Structure 1
Amino acid sequence: MRRAALLALAATLIVLAGCAQRPSLRIGHLAEQPDSALMAEIVAETLRQAGARAIAVACPDLVNCGRRLQAGDIDLLPGYSGSARVFFRSRAIQDGGLEAVRQVLASTGISVTPGLGFSAPYVLLMDSNKALAKDMTSVEDLSRLEDARFAVPPGYTRQPGDGLLALARRYGLDIQPSAVEEVASPGERMAALLAGRTDVAVIRAPYVRPDLGLSELADTLDFYPRYEATVVIGPRAEEHRGFVESALKPLYGALMATEVEPAIREIIVQGRDTETVARRILVAEGVIDAESPTVRRPEMVVAYTGAESLSPLGGQAILALRRAYPERPVNMLSVAAPLAALEQGKADLALVHTSDFFELTWDGLFRGRDRRGEAIAAIGRRHFLLLVREGMPPEANPLSGRIGTPPGWTAGGKVAARMLVLAGRGPDLRATGPSLIRAVRAGELDAAIVMLDADTQAALQELPAEAPKLRAASLTDWLIGAPFFLNEVRLPTSPVPGQKAPVDTFSMQVLLAGPAPQGRTGPVHGGPASAIATRNLPLPLREAESIANAAESTEVPDPVLPSFRDRQAVTANGITESPWLETILIIVGIAFMAWAGWLLAQPVTRRGS
């Protein structure tokens, strides 16, 4: 018996020793901030691999996280070296580098690990077109912007050291509190910029997609310190510091910006699951062997062609879908024909132009309507521009000389070719927008019709204002019969540098489209399976309405296009399209016929026999 008691005691000691060697750690992160959540998940999973129990705990803002760390409510706080200012309101850390922060924190019971390899400074963003129009290139230029509106992270306005009010003091800006809106999601801050609801957004650099049409304002006074990614260890976790630093060693210097920044944008823009992305990074770094099985959320697949998904309008479409479907990741699928992808069930939605709803050939022939899609939401517009070589007389018809258009496989190329067919001719050269601009400037072409996509706009902005060697002419003056699906618009100023006169031209919409009832290959109504959601069926009216509202566009789809609102009108007239009602009625009918058949099959029993 004594021996059994000794064995039990030894077993208890072993268990207690194991528990002592397996710390429980709470990792703090900022709520609704994808970079903070991703870093917390990477740190937590790495600690779990080392044997610790680790959970992530969200806090509303950085100051709250700092206080909870000091109070011992959380043990670790993945973050950035420059943000250590929140722990010391009375003592500024001007450098922001890890070594400077480490020295200041040395006597407080708070320490920091070596750097993880990337940095994430704050940046101030403006819509590129507005910044260009108002000549805004740096933070100090904001002093010339009257009644500027700001969108900032929660708690950032009064954040010690590097908050918005501290920035205003350093640059002498007059920022009214009523003009500042705290918006938790970085994506919504960028969406507010693109939609014109705010003038300036404060965002961490890794969030910014360089192709969204946003311009960064230079910090000419070096107000912001360095923000090197690290893990802050609180007083309560000091006893486990050796374990933590050893467990996290595979991460030191390993998380490069080229890997982390696309992952952060993937989470915020496409809605990818943070845990899945974190595990993928850790597998790539060799921290864990393989990804464990995870529950995969259904994706919203959007078909597109060309570079439209990478344009500001493409970014607005993705953000609209993220608002309408916050729980569904968005996957962009590059295809040759987006409406065909809808018909084939390869995509749920398509990012298209007005012209995609019509069958146009590469040489400008019109073959009728393409009935495979219906418009859900208008995202914005693409403008066409007639560029004329230097020296051409204003009275000369540019469409009668040597003229170029975009490639025949693009939407812009097909529409431009259609314009020339209606003018009684064809193009002399088909090339990209930048190539056509060079050809006109070199005198190889008399004129070119281009679509103002991102590449063409960038090529125009690079032209010297003093000698652009071309000018923008009003396309509406020379094109008598335009394709019926285009709209006349006036550009307030010419996109050509140094030319301020307005330009009259044509434009078409960029839209999100869904499968049309006429274009389906499977049934929409007519059986028990009609209530089962599958691809290539029209979107339910409620979902289509949600996307249209989330787009926050000032436009509705062009009246010449088929729209989900056509189905709304049918429903409003008393004709329902509910597949569930049809399914229930059909099942009841089948049950009734089965019951009637069963009655008929029963033997007849005569009364009195």
Structure 2
Amino acid sequence: MRLAIALLTLLGLTACDQNSDSLIVGGKDFSESSILSEMMAALAEDAGIPVTRRTFLGDTMVNLESLRSGEIDVYAEYNGTGLLMLGQPAMADGDAAMERVRSLYQPLGIVWGNRFGFANNYGLAMRPGRAEELGVTSISDLVAEAGGLTIGIEENFETRPLDGFGPMTARYGMEFGSVSTVSSEERPTLYDDLLAGSVDVIEVFTTDGQIADLGLVLLEDDLNFFPVYEAAPLVRSDALVRFPELQGALDRLSGQLDAQMMQELNSRVDQDALSPREVARAALSELGLIDTDDALEVTEPVVVAHSPLIGADAETGTALRAVRQAYPGRRVLLQSEADPLGVVGTGGAPLALAAAVEFTELEEDGDLATRPFEAFGVVGQSYVHLIGLGDTRRLADVGTLATGPEGSASHRTGQIMTAVLDGITLSPTADGAPGDADAALVVAPIGSAVVEDLLEDGRLLALEGWDSGNTLVRFPQLRQARIPAGSYDGQLRAIETLSSQLVLAGPIVVNTDAVGPQGPGASIPTEVAALPDNTVLAINGALGTLIGLDPAIRAAPALAPTLPSPPAAVNPSSAISFMTALVLLMFGWLIWLYARPERR
């Protein structure tokens, strides 16, 4: 027993000696903290300091207590959090906050290093289309609209006494119509709710990778309500004595990082599923702080091309959310293009959000030619907005019609209109500006900000009589519809118009002798690989719509209904036939045995 105790004591002393010879780097349990921990560890190693990593250790309380007890030597902390942990109010002035935390933590044997250069504050974000529709760029702009809006927040933000939801609404003097609260573990679902349109505003951290990936609008905190949370190394003072090179190693990262860069790095971990260590080392290499041969293999993002007239409204958000669910662990980006399907056809994107009218090409003889693309599911509906400008008040008064650039949905619709109506000349423009045209044609969902801008000096014109003759047969991608009264300011009555289904689409699979991604005889006439059936079904399922695809456009083969299996053949095989014959012979023999006369 004495020998065992002596051995355990010796092992414990050895472990203590090893810990004292190694810098122990801690970290909180989220991506940004892990990235910063790996950066500090890499810089320390580059300075010749041996490092032990305990990243993703836990929350703030766990890391701070581990630092005070000597279980770790350094981790990345935020000055605002540092103040709150000692019962002090956070501050909006970063310099004052750093001076305060340094004076408070020094007696505890803990030193605040120089700031990394960015702040990760609380903030509010919106979809660009919704923000533009409401004319909101700052939190103060929300005050007049908040009563009719839903905000999504995390439960921790709801309960914070100084910089949480209640104090924020009190400071700005506003009250939201409804509040949707999620747990800390469900925080990423706030972005899905925003894309789905179930909430109008969400609470975010300003370095969240999704802000840039989804193109969200971060509202200006114009009253400087939210305290500053600037990141910096938090180090035990005895570690600086044990490792004289440590201070210089950490100072190399001083002022090197900004919020935009942290958004990108966070996105590489959260969306591209890369490890914090490889992301951190690659970032340090790009900054010229370390030399490394490690290549960062970032998976190419999944790009969804879409019309700029759709922007990042509810329809684009629905498409983006569905594609993200179909491609777990992949970054999904929006790409604004005048001709989304054309970009897919040339290899610029694998997917497009397009109107049904974009699936055809008007030929010189007036017939429609089908373009080589297929639809995966319904996202929404685009409407033809014919806007009279100046003195133009009827369709008959339109001589010059402004459209989007050639290849766009509005220009294709304009070509069809000129094939049906006489006396109209198209005027395509790259930026959609109508110029001196009599009217403008915009194909977009109802509520389009572009339409609202044009209606400030114009009016919606009715497109009536489209069902006369064989027009509906010739151009089935355009259906009769109405823009309901009140859809736009000053619109007192419903407007007769046309609509075109809005769908997610990709390159078509055609039958050839080649072997493509969907099996023998499947290839594509473009540079983009056709989507596998399971991906098509995943996108369609994620859209969750009960509306079927317009029969005027081609649906992906994977969406074809499953036919019932034909009845099995009477004699499926010779072996079964042989066994059936034996069974019948046995039954016949048994009957004969039963019915034969008894032998005397």
Q: Check whether TM > 0.5.
A: yes
Distance 2:484 2:72 in 1: 55
Distance 1:510 1:52 in 2: 58
Task: Give the aligned partner of residue 398 of structure 2.
Answer: 400
1:48 aligns with 2:48: no
The one-letter code sitting in structure 2 at the alignment partner of 1:89 is G
Query: Following TM superposition, by how much is the alpha carbon of 1:161 offset from its aligned partner in structure 2, in angstroms?
Result: 3.4
Deviations 1:109-147 (A, max 9, x none): 433221212233321124455556667653595597459
Distance 1:265 1:289 in 2: 23
Q: Secondary structure of the equivalent of 2:284?
A: helix
Task: Give the aligned partner of residue 457 of structure 2.
Answer: 469
Query: Following TM superposition, by how much is the alpha carbon of 1:186 offset from its aligned partner in structure 2, in angstroms?
Result: 6.6
Task: Give the aligned partner of residue 529 of structure 2.
Answer: 536
Distance 1:529 1:518 in 2: 6
Query: What fraction of aligned residue pairs are identical, expressed as a percent?
Result: 22
The one-letter code sitting in structure 2 at the alignment partner of 1:105 is Y
Q: 1:27 to 1:430 in 2, by over 3 A?
A: same
Deviations 1:455-510 (A, max 9, x none): x95666667x9xx3322334457897574223525256455x66676655444344
Contact 1:364 1:419 in 2 (8 A): no
Q: 1:367 to 1:278 in 2, by over 3 A?
A: farther
Contact 2:359 2:373 in 1 (8 A): no
List aligned pairs for 1:515-534, cutoff 5 A.
515-518=507-510, 522-523=515-516
Task: Give the aligned partner of residue 595 of structure 1.
Answer: none
The one-letter code sitting in structure 1 at the alignment partner of 2:460 is A
Task: Give the aligned partner of residue 157 of structure 2.
Answer: 156
Distance 1:507 1:176 in 2: 32
Distance 2:352 2:258 in 1: 32
Q: Secondary structure of the equivalent of 1:99?
A: helix
List aligned pairs for 1:28-43, cutoff 5 A.
28-31=27-30, 34-43=31-40
Deviations 1:302-331 (A, max 9, x none): 463765897445565444333333233447
Distance 1:451 1:270 in 2: 34
Q: 1:383 to 1:45 in 2, by over 3 A?
A: farther
Larger Rg: 2
The one-letter code sitting in structure 2 at the alignment partner of 1:391 is D
Q: Secondary structure of the equivalent of 2:414?
A: helix
The one-letter code sitting in structure 2 at the alignment partner of 1:167 is M
Over the aligned positions, Cα root-mean-square deviation in angstroms equals 4.7
Query: Following TM superposition, by how much is the alpha carbon of 1:412 offset from its aligned partner in structure 2, in angstroms?
Result: 2.9
List aligned pairs for 1:495-514, cutoff 5 A.
503=495, 505-514=497-506
Contact 1:364 1:415 in 2 (8 A): no
Contact 2:533 2:558 in 1 (8 A): no
The one-letter code sitting in structure 2 at the alignment partner of 1:228 is E
Task: Give the aligned partner of residue 413 of structure 2.
Answer: 415
The one-letter code sitting in structure 2 at the alignment partner of 1:384 is V
Unaligned runs of 5+ in 1: 1-14, 576-609
Task: Give the aligned partner of residue 389 of structure 2.
Answer: 389
Query: Following TM superposition, by how much is the alpha carbon of 1:431 offset from its aligned partner in structure 2, in angstroms?
Result: 0.6
Query: Following TM superposition, by how much is the alpha carbon of 1:572 offset from its aligned partner in structure 2, in angstroms?
Result: 4.6
Contact 1:23 1:240 in 2 (8 A): no
List aligned pairs for 1:477-488, cutoff 5 A.
481=471, 483-487=475-479, 488=481
Distance 1:211 1:363 in 2: 41
Query: Following TM superposition, by how much is the alpha carbon of 1:368 offset from its aligned partner in structure 2, in angstroms?
Result: 2.9
Distance 1:476 1:272 in 2: 55
Distance 2:85 2:156 in 1: 14
Q: Secondary structure of the equivalent of 1:115?
A: coil
Query: Following TM superposition, by how much is the alpha carbon of 1:287 offset from its aligned partner in structure 2, in angstroms?
Result: 1.4
Q: 1:494 to 1:246 in 2, by over 3 A?
A: same
The one-letter code sitting in structure 1 at the alignment partner of 2:515 is G
Counterpart of 2:564 (choices 568, 573, 576) is 573
Query: Following TM superposition, by how much is the alpha carbon of 1:284 offset from its aligned partner in structure 2, in angstroms?
Result: 1.6
Task: Give the aligned partner of residue 223 of structure 1.
Answer: 225
1:104 aligns with 2:104: yes
Deviations 1:557-595 (A, max 9, x none): 43433334x5354545349xxxxxxxxxxxxxxxxxxxx
Deviations 1:233-269 (A, max 9, x none): 3688565685443212221112234544444456556
Contact 1:125 1:201 in 2 (8 A): yes
List aligned pairs for 1:197-216, cutoff 5 A.
197-207=198-208, 209=211, 214-216=216-218
The one-letter code sitting in structure 1 at the alignment partner of 2:40 is V
The one-letter code sitting in structure 1 at the alignment partner of 2:553 is L
Q: Secondary structure of the equivalent of 2:425?
A: coil
Task: Give the aligned partner of residue 599 of structure 1.
Answer: none
Q: Secondary structure of the equivalent of 1:197?
A: coil
Q: Secondary structure of the equivalent of 1:567?
A: helix
Contact 2:190 2:202 in 1 (8 A): yes
Query: Following TM superposition, by how much is the alpha carbon of 1:183 offset from its aligned partner in structure 2, in angstroms?
Result: 5.6
Task: Give the aligned partner of residue 119 of structure 1.
Answer: 119
Task: Give the aligned partner of residue 555 of structure 2.
Answer: 563
Q: 1:417 to 1:308 in 2, by over 3 A?
A: same
Contact 1:267 1:273 in 2 (8 A): yes
Q: Secondary structure of the equivalent of 2:234?
A: strand
1:181 aligns with 2:179: no
Distance 1:236 1:479 in 2: 84
Task: Give the aligned partner of residue 545 of structure 1.
Answer: 537
Aligned residues: 538
The one-letter code sitting in structure 2 at the alignment partner of 1:573 is P
Q: Secondary structure of the equivalent of 2:515?
A: coil
Q: Secondary structure of the equivalent of 1:409?
A: coil
Distance 1:252 1:469 in 2: 52
Deviations 1:412-432 (A, max 9, x none): 322332233222455341113
Q: 1:259 to 1:432 in 2, by over 3 A?
A: same
Task: Give the aligned partner of residue 324 of structure 1.
Answer: 326
Q: 1:36 to 1:358 in 2, by over 3 A?
A: same
Q: 1:546 to 1:46 in 2, by over 3 A?
A: farther
Distance 2:562 2:117 in 1: 57
Contact 1:355 1:508 in 2 (8 A): yes
Contact 2:350 2:529 in 1 (8 A): no
Contact 1:35 1:264 in 2 (8 A): yes
The one-letter code sitting in structure 2 at the alignment partner of 1:29 is K
Contact 1:358 1:367 in 2 (8 A): no
Distance 1:432 1:336 in 2: 9
Contact 1:405 1:431 in 2 (8 A): yes
Contact 1:348 1:536 in 2 (8 A): no
Query: Following TM superposition, by how much is the alpha carbon of 1:203 offset from its aligned partner in structure 2, in angstroms?
Result: 0.8
Contact 1:153 1:202 in 2 (8 A): yes
The one-letter code sitting in structure 1 at the alignment partner of 2:113 is T
Contact 1:524 1:537 in 2 (8 A): yes
Contact 1:389 1:469 in 2 (8 A): yes
Distance 1:177 1:72 in 2: 46
Query: Following TM superposition, by how much is the alpha carbon of 1:173 offset from its aligned partner in structure 2, in angstroms?
Result: 6.1
Distance 1:343 1:519 in 2: 17
Contact 2:405 2:431 in 1 (8 A): no
Unaligned runs of 5+ in 2: 1-13, 567-600
Task: Give the aligned partner of residue 490 of structure 1.
Answer: 483
Task: Give the aligned partner of residue 4 of structure 2.
Answer: none
Q: Secondary structure of the equivalent of 1:384?
A: strand
Contact 1:86 1:160 in 2 (8 A): no
Scaled by the length of structure 2, the TM-score of the pair is 0.72
